[in-house]
């Protein structure tokens, strides 16, 4: 039996339009999730990737019984999230990125005591479980310090401990490393991998492609509420193995330069990162030899300072999937 089963899941909402002096505010029906289906095996660490607003957090909140689906069905460990929410909640943990959800003036230990009481975990079992979790997230030495003095990374590790209090068989991690420094993010990834190795099923959403590539056995990519890919990281990268990525660092990049690069016949996709002094273009090409002269010719007046080529990464596969999906939707809407 799969730990998580999602079948044709849809979630609609009403987007309110602002009112003017002469009109009333009217709601517009929209779909955050549009008939997605996937399953997650027991003990699997599964990644759900997608742009902002794609439906990742909505999907997790439905699975965590925080939102009801509009249609379709979702089960966690065999229990329907809509008709058996209490049974689901007993068996899951939920951790979201950010600083909310902890009591600043309580110690780490007292925070866990409070939430353990809410779960009905008391007495010797509570003391044993809190000690285990503080050790798991490497906070034993700071267990009696107030949370208000914790770094963001320490708070996130405490969030993980809170989410694990009831010994969940399924753990939902919604962008848990957002805003963390590199060391804190690495520690949190190690914690997630250890939990999966111990048999906990983990569903992770993240915007960091290297994180998903390192941790996830399989990845689903969701764009505008639709699941557009579902496979292993290696298979997703293989899907763009016929491409080469050219990285070009320039100064004085203009909108005209960018438009001319996109118009080159050999260019399959383009991503631009704009820094305070330089701009970096990640150009996916079908044939580097044919693309390079045209690319450098277009960018000649933009002061090119560096050019590199490399094999495609998971991020490149993700960008290609998102770009392809958006282009298909735009064509369908014409």
Q: What are the structural domains, with CATH classification, of the chain?
A: 4-16+30-231 (3.40.50.300), 242-311 (3.30.70.260)
Condensed to tens digits (0 to 9), the pLDDT of residues 55-83 reads: 999 999 999 999 999 999 999 999 999 99
Q: How confident is the model at residue 24 (pLDDT cuts 50, 70, 90)?
A: low
Three-state secondary structure call for residue 263: helix
Condensed to tens digits (0 to 9), the pLDDT of residues 118-158 reads: 999 999 999 999 999 999 888 999 999 999 999 888 898 89
Average pLDDT value for residue range 96-104 = 80
| Per-residue pLDDT, 184 | 79
Q: How far apart are CA 268 and CA 222, in angstroms?
A: 21
| Six-digit token string for 109 | 């230990």
Proportion of the chain above pLDDT 70, given as a percent: 94
Three-state secondary structure call for residue 124: helix
Q: How far apart are CA 261 and CA 12, in angstroms?
A: 38
Strand partners, 11: 33
Between 271 and 17, whose confidence is greater?
Answer: 271
The single-letter DSSP state of residue 9 is: E
Residue 303 · residue 252 · CB < 8 Å: yes
Given a cut of 60, is residue 220 above it in pLDDT? Answer: yes
| Six-digit token string for 207 | 């915007």
| Per-residue pLDDT, 29 | 74
Burial of residue 270 (number of CB atoms within 10 Å: 0-12, 13-18, 19+):
middle
Q: How confident is the model at residue 276 (pLDDT cuts 50, 70, 90)?
A: confident
Average pLDDT value for residue range 43-47 = 96
SS3 content of the chain, % helix, strand, coil (to 5): 40, 30, 30
Q: How far apart are CA 52 and CA 71, in angstroms?
A: 23
| Per-residue pLDDT, 210 | 92
Condensed to tens digits (0 to 9), the pLDDT of residues 164-210 reads: 999 999 999 998 888 778 887 888 888 889 889 999 999 999 999 99
| Per-residue pLDDT, 138 | 87
| Per-residue pLDDT, 141 | 95
Average pLDDT value for residue range 246-270 = 88
Q: How far apart are CA 174 and CA 165, in angstroms?
A: 17
Task: Give me the DSSP letters along 88-121.
Answer: HHHHEEEEESSSTTS-TTSBHHHHHHHHHHHTT-
| Per-residue pLDDT, 300 | 81
| Per-residue pLDDT, 11 | 94
| Per-residue pLDDT, 284 | 86
| Per-residue pLDDT, 90 | 92
Q: How far apart are CA 250 and CA 261, in angstroms?
A: 13
Proportion of the chain above pLDDT 90, given as a percent: 54
State the sign of the Cα–Cα–Cα–Cα dihedral 63, 69, 73, 78.
positive
| Per-residue pLDDT, 16 | 57
pTM of the model: 0.81
């Amino acid at each position: 039996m799969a730990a998580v089963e999602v079948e044709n899941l849809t979630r609609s909402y009403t987007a309110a339009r602002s009112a003017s002096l002469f009109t009333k505010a009217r709601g517009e029906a929209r779909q955050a999730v549009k008939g997605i289906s996937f399953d997650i095996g027991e003990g699997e660490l599964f990644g759900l990737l997608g742009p902002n607003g794609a439906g990742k957090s909505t999907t997790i909140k439905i699975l965590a019984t925080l939102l009801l689906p509009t249609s379709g069905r979702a089960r966690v460990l065999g229990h329907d999230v809509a008709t058996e929410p209490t049974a689901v909640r007993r068996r899951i943990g939920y951790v979201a990125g950010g600083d909310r959800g902890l009591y600043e003036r309580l110690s780490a230990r007292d925070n866990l005591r409070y939430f353990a009481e809410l779960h009905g975990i008391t007495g010797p079992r509570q003391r044993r479980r809190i000690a285990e979790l503080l050790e798991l997230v490497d906070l034993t030495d700071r267990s009696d310090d107030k949370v208000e003095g914790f770094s963001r990374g320490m708070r996130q590790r405490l969030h993980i401990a809170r989410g694990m209090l009831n010994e969940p068989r399924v753990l939902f991690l919604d962008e848990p490393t957002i805003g963390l420094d590199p060391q804190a993010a690495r520690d949190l990834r190690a914690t997630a991998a250890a939990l999966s190795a111990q048999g906990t099923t983990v569903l992770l959403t993240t915007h960091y492609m290297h994180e998903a590539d390192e941790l996830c056995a399989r990845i689903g990519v969701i764009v505008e509420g639709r699941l557009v890919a579902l496979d292993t990281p290696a298979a997703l990268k293989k899907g763009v193995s016929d491409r080469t990525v050219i990285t070009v660092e320039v100064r004085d990049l203009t909108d005209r330069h960018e438009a001319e690069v996109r118009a080159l016949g050999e260019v399959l996709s383009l991503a631009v990162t704009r820094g305070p002094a330089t701009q970096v273009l990640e150009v996916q090409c079908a044939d580097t030899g044919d693309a390079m002269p045209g690319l450098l010719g277009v960018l000649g007046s933009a002061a090119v300072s560096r050019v590199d080529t490399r094999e495609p990464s998971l991020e490149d596969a993700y960008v290609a999937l998102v770009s392809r999906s958006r282009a298909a939707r735009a064509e369908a809407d014409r």
